[in-house]
Structures are given as structure tokens and as C-alpha cells.
């Protein structure tokens, strides 16, 4: 077993014989400009040393097209270090790997002699941030992008609308943010992104080789739409379940035309039989498509308990076709699988690792239709669950707390019978923000469990190091790097954290 603190574990690692590369204040680097900049920053943060550049530098970073997308190889020995990416993303990931290898040995910094050849298992490796329950500004998002990209995650799914707020300003529908964005859960301040903010987020993500996958959730989770356009929504449906959540968590009973600041779900619905609803859908997704260079638009579809099932099916079918008509690939939460959707619509699975029959049927329908799934089993991949009964933050509805071990101990193809890697677009770790209000809260919930999702999405299922025993020791070895990067991780007692 390798003791190198590499997460996600690479496809192949050979510990070469021979001495380490000694990194000191005179070490220089050369090659691809963006990669040199990324490595320079990482090294400064970790060691305090700022490497210079020189044409004959011993550390060489370059792109050589040829290998699989996002792949790279890294060779380190006493004489030098070479990282070759098959593309810019692969080279960037090689630099992240090098950042994990740099360590303090005695009184100097070094990189152990090693040969790594690496490529991802799944094309889509995502994190989701819910900016609707609580709003997070552009700087917090940039920090989250940096954190995710350092673990080779390549998709940032932004949950941009929910009952509590609409968070993206749209020129076609300006009332959405004017009236629907000023509050959040717990009466906390709301907020929204301007078109310029969104452009900045998308560009920053791209510079870290991440796409932005924006979501407007519908037909449920739309109370905030009603604050702006009351004619588009039904009155709140106050089911037993909604009233129980109100009892347990407070926040009051949802009421038309009043901002909702509680945590209940499944009471709101767009009007399904009104053509004005589809004009709205065309406007908001049309504008979103123009602002989003990435291939996916997510239209939600979860927990529409306030919508009649037949209406729900008609609605999601039509919305998927509107989005496909915009030249984008629709993504929907797995419930939408009950309907006939536009060809290629991706399903995002969020039931437990062992699905209820209904969820298995809805998710399986995407595969039977020849489409793919993104897997986010809530009892393992959800970053907003408590770690244990004493956690300061988080929820427990997904079968109780989610320990770090539970976040790690699952295999994507085992979620549904007969599922193969080809049926799976990838893996995503969502962070819903009912209980988090600050960047520090996001760090505490995400780290270290985000590393589990990253490894499940990246590393080969068969890698000998794809075990909890290996993972916990490798994550522990990342403590010093995470601390140097200012990541306020939860120092879970499940992990043997090292301090240098
Ligand atoms: C379920 S999972 C939700 C969200 C909540 C989350 C809290 C899913 C698609 N919907 O509306 O924020 O649980 O964990």
C-alpha cells in the first residue's frame, strides 16, 4: 500500500527507486504558462517558496495531445520533475497531484521519486452548491471552485432557485430577483448574481477546468417565482408533511405573496395548464442558455409534491424539449424519469444507496431510454448531512448522519441492478444550505467528505488503494496542504490527521 497522500488515487502509481527531488528556494520551473502559474501559487501557499522560471529548469510542465481527455503523466526523480498533460485540464490535474506530493522532510522540501499515469473514470465529476436557501457571493464561489478543482472535480452545479429565493438576475424577467431574492432561510439576508457576476463565475470556473451547470428548479420549489409573477403559481399546498417540517424546524407556514424563510419542501408549484408558464420557461432557460457556455441546463423536477403526478409528467416532458431546443442537454432530478423526456436528458439520482422501488424505477427509466445518470445518493454523497449526532451543522433525513467512512464506502454501479460505467455520466456531491450561512460552514460540511466523492468519480473501481483503510490515511496526509490553503475542514476523529 502506498503511503503517498494522493486523493483521488491515480490510475497508476509506481514508487521509483532512488532519492527524492529536493525543492529549494532556487528551484525553477518552465513550460505551459497557466500551469506554471498554478504551480507557482500552490507552491507558495504550501512552502512559502516562489519558484522562478528558466528555460533549462528541472521542473517541466507541458501539453502533448494524444492520451485520454484530462489525463496526464508525472515523473519525479532526483534529477527533475516532468508533467505531461494530454490537454490543459490534464496538465492542471498533474499540477494538483504534484501539490499533494510536495512534503517537508527533515529541514527541506522534497518530492518523492515516483511515476504516475492518470486519467479519470467518469467524465462528469461534480459538486453542487445551493445558493437559494442561503446566498453565497462570488468570492465564496471562487473559493469553492478552487477547492473542488484541487480534487480534480470538473463541474459546479449551481442550484440557483428555490422557494426561498431566485438568485440570478435575468433581463427577460427582472422581477424574479427584484422581488424574489431578498431573503433566505432563517430570515437571513438574500442576494443574487448579476449577469456580470455570473460571467465572472463561469470564467473563473473555466480557468480551473470546471463547467458551470446552472439549475432553475421547477415545477416545485417555485415559491419565489410567485413573489415576482403571482399569476404563474398555484397557492401553497399545506400537506401533513409540510406542516410536520414547520413544526420541527420553524419558519412559519408558507403563504402566497410572502417570502418563505423556512425549510419545508414540496408545497409550491407552477401552473401546469397555463401557456404563460411555458413562455416563462422559454424566457428563463433561453437567457440561461445564452449565458452558459457549458453543455448542460438543469431544470430540477424534484419533490414536486404540490403538483398532480400527471401534470408533473406533462410539464417535465415539455420543459426537457424546450431546453433541448436551445441546443443544451437537459438534466433533471430522477423523479422526472417517470415522463417521456427529450432524448439524451440526463437524470440525477438522489435517493439512498439502496433505492426505494419508485426511485429505482424513475432512475432506471433514464438508462432504459439510452440516457445517462449522475449519481448523488443522499446517504453518502450529500455534503449537508451531519457527520454524527453532535455535528453543529447539517441535517439527518438521509438515514441519519453520514460519517466520512459512509461517504466513501459506495460504488456507483451498485446503485441499480445492471448499471454499468457506460450508463453513468458521473458522480456529484450536493451541498444544500439550509444550515450553512458562511464559507467556513461550507468548508466544515464539505471537507473531508468531498474527497470521497472526488475519488469515487475519478479513481478506477479496481485500484488496490480504493479502500477505506488506504483512503483515510491518504486524506490524513492532506491535512497540512488543506491547512496551508486555508480550508477549514472538519477534523473528524475517523481520520489520522498528520501535522506536517
Ligand atoms: C432534498 S434532494 C432536496 C432539497 C433539500 C435537501 C436537504 C433534492 C433533490 N431535494 O430540496 O435542500 O433534501 O438535504
Which H or E run contains 446? helix 439-446
User: Which residue's entry shows cell 417540517?
Assistant: 245
Tell me if 346 sits within 8 A of 296, measured CB to CB: yes
Kindly state the DSSP code that residue 105 receives in the 8-state scheme: E
Indicate which atom in ligand 1 lies nearest the CA of residue 378: 2
Angstrom CA distances, 55 to 23, 29, 43, 63, 74, stand at: 17, 8, 19, 16, 19
Report how far residue 177's alpha carbon sits from residue 423's, in angstroms, rounded to the nearest whole number. 37
Report how far residue 151's alpha carbon sits from residue 452's, in angstroms, rounded to the nearest whole number. 10
Q: Ligand 1 centre from 449 Cα, in Å?
A: 18
First to last CA, the chain: 20
Report how far residue 484's alpha carbon sits from residue 478's, in angstroms, rounded to the nearest whole number. 10
3-state secondary structure of 99: helix
Phi, psi of 250 (to 5 degrees): 75, -160
Task: Name the closest-CA residue to atom 4, ligand 1.
Answer: 432
3-state secondary structure of 39: helix
Q: Ligand 1 centre from 271 Cα, in Å?
A: 22
Pick left, alpha or beta for residue 38 (phi over 0 → left; psi -120 to 50 → alpha; otherwise beta).
alpha
Q: Ligand 1 centre from 350 Cα, in Å?
A: 9
Task: Name the closest-CA residue to atom 7, ligand 1.
Answer: 432
User: Which residue's entry shows cell 503511503?
Assistant: 3
Task: Name the closest-CA residue to atom 10, ligand 1.
Answer: 302
Report how far residue 153's alpha carbon sits from residue 405's, in angstroms, rounded to the nearest whole number. 20
Task: Enter the C-alpha cell of residue 224.
Answer: 419565489
For the beta carbon of residue 347, count every other beta carbon within 10 angstroms: 28
Annotated catalytic residue 44: no
Task: Enter the C-alpha cell of residue 127.
Answer: 459538486
- The response to whether residue 185 sits with its C-beta less than 6 Å from ligand 1 reads no
- The response to whether residue 384 sits with its C-beta less than 6 Å from ligand 1 reads yes
Instruction: Count CA atoms closer than 13 A to 132's CA, side-chain side.
Output: 30
- The pLDDT of residue 499: 87
- The pLDDT of residue 1: 37
Task: Name the closest-CA residue to atom 8, ligand 1.
Answer: 302
- The pLDDT of residue 37: 98
Q: Ligand 1 centre from 432 Cα, in Å?
A: 7
User: Which residue's entry shows cell 455570473?
Assistant: 198
- The response to whether residue 336 sits with its C-beta less than 6 Å from ligand 1 reads no
Nearest residue to 261 via CA among 191, 177, 189: 189
Task: Name the closest-CA residue to atom 12, ligand 1.
Answer: 432
Tell me if 54 sits within 8 A of 64, measured CB to CB: no
Indicate which atom in ligand 1 lies nearest the CA of residue 162: 11
Instruction: Count CA atoms closer than 13 A to 380's CA, side-chain side.
Output: 24
Nearest residue to 233 via CA among 277, 173, 282: 277
Indicate which atom in ligand 1 lies nearest the CA of residue 130: 12
Task: Enter the C-alpha cell of residue 243.
Answer: 406542516
Q: Ligand 1 centre from 264 Cα, in Å?
A: 10
Non-local CB neighbours of 311 within 8 Å, separated by 6+ positions:
219, 272, 273
Q: Ligand 1 centre from 74 Cα, in Å?
A: 40
Non-local CB neighbours of 261 within 8 Å, separated by 6+ positions:
164, 183, 184, 185, 186, 187, 188, 251, 252
Task: Enter the C-alpha cell of residue 89.
Answer: 485540464
Torsion of CA 183, 189, 192, 193, to 10 degrees: -170
List 303, 434, 455, 494, catalytic entry: 303
Kindly state the DSSP code that residue 29 receives in the 8-state scheme: E
Report how far residue 273's alpha carbon sits from residue 58's, in angstroms, rounded to the nearest whole number. 67
- The pLDDT of residue 16: 82
Cα 14 from chain centre: 30
- The response to whether residue 265 sits with its C-beta less than 6 Å from ligand 1 reads yes
Report how far residue 269's alpha carbon sits from residue 218's, in angstroms, rounded to the nearest whole number. 7
E strand map for 21-71: 21-23, 28-31, 52-53, 59-63
Tell me if 457 sits within 8 A of 119, measured CB to CB: no
Report how far residue 264's alpha carbon sits from residue 411's, in angstroms, rounded to the nearest whole number. 31
Tell me if 497 sits within 8 A of 480, measured CB to CB: no
Mutate to test the pocket of ligand 1, among 128, 302, 381 (most ligand atoms within 8 A of CB): 302
Q: Which residues of the chain have pLDDT under 50?
A: 1-2
Indicate which atom in ligand 1 lies nearest the CA of residue 395: 14
- The pLDDT of residue 235: 97
Nearest residue to 208 via CA among 47, 92, 115: 92
Amino acid at each position: 500500500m502506498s503511503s503517498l497522500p494522493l486523493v483521488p488515487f491515480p490510475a497508476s502509481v509506481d514508487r521509483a527507486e532512488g532519492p527524492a527531488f529536493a525543492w529549494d528556494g532556487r528551484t525553477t520551473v518552465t513550460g505551459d504558462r497557466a500551469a506554471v502559474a498554478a504551480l507557482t501559487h500552490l507552491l507558495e501557499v504550501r512552502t512559502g517558496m516562489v519558484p522562478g522560471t528558466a528555460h533549462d529548469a528541472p521542473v517541466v510542465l507541458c501539453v502533448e495531445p494524444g492520451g485520454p481527455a484530462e489525463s496526464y503523466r508525472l515523473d519525479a526523480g532526483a534529477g527533475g520533475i516532468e508533467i505531461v498533460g494530454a490537454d490543459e485540464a490534464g496538465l492542471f490535474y498533474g499540477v494538483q497531484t504534484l501539490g499533494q506530493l510536495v512534503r517537508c522532510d527533515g529541514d527541506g522540501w522534497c518530492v518523492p521519486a515516483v511515476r504516475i499515469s492518470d486519467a479519470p473514470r467518469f467524465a462528469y465529476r461534480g459538486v453542487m452548491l445551493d445558493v437559494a436557501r442561503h446566498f453565497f457571493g462570488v468570492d465564496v464561489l471562487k473559493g469553492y471552485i478552487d477547492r473542488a478543482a484541487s480534487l480534480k472535480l470538473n463541474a459546479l452545479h449551481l442550484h440557483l432557485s428555490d422557494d426561498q429565493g431566485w438568485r440570478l438576475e435575468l433581463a427577460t424577467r427582472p422581477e424574479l430577483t427584484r422581488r424574489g431574492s431578498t431573503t433566505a432561510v432563517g430570515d437571513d439576508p438574500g442576494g443574487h448574481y448579476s449577469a456580470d457576476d455570473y460571467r465572472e463565475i463561469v470564467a473563473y470556473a473555466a480557468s480551473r477546468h470546471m463547467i458551470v451547470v446552472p439549475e432553475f428548479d421547477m415545477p416545485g420549489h417555485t415559491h419565489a417565482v410567485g413573489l415576482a409573477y403571482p399569476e404563474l403559481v398555484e397557492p401553497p399546498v399545506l400537506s401533513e408533511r409540510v406542516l410536520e417540517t414547520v413544526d420541527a424546524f420553524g419558519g412559519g407556514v408558507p403563504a402566497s405573496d410572502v417570502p418563505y424563510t423556512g425549510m419545508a419542501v414540496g408545497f409550491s408549484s407552477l401552473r401546469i395548464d397555463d401557456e404563460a408558464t411555458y413562455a416563462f420557461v422559454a424566457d428563463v432557460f433561453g437567457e440561461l442558455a445564452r449565458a452558459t457556455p457549458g453543455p448542460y441546463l438543469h431544470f430540477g423536477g424534484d419533490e414536486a409534491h404540490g403538483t398532480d403526478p400527471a401534470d408533473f409528467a406533462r410539464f417535465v416532458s415539455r420543459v426537457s424539449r424546450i431546453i433541448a431546443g436551445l441546443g443544451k442537454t437537459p438534466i433533471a432530478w430522477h423523479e422526472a424519469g417517470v415522463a417521456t423526456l427529450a432524448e439524451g436528458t440526463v437524470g440525477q439520482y438522489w435517493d439512498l444507496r439502496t433505492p426505494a422501488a419508485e426511485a429505482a424505477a424513475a432512475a432506471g427509466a433514464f438508462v432504459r431510454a439510452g440516457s445517462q445518470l449522475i449519481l448523488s445518493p443522499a446517504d453518502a454523497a450529500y455534503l449537508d448531512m451531519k457527520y454524527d449526532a453532535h455535528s453543529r451543522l447539517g441535517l439527518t433525513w438521509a438515514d441519519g448522519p453520514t460519517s466520512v467512512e459512509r461517504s466513501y464506502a459506495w460504488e456507483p454501479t451498485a446503485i441499480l441492478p445492471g448499471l454499468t460505467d457506460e450508463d453513468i455520466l458521473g458522480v456529484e456531491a450536493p451541498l444544500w444550505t439550509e444550515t450553512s450561512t458562511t464559507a467556513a460552514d461550507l468548508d466544515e460540511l464539505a471537507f473531508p467528505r468531498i474527497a470521497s466523492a472526488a475519488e469515487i468519480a475519478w479513481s478506477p473501481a479496481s485500484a488496490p488503494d480504493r479502500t477505506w483503510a488506504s483512503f483515510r490515511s491518504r486524506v490524513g496526509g492532506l491535512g497540512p496542504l488543506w491547512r496551508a490553503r486555508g480550508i477549514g475542514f472538519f477534523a473528524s476523529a475517523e481520520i489520522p490527521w498528520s501535522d506536517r
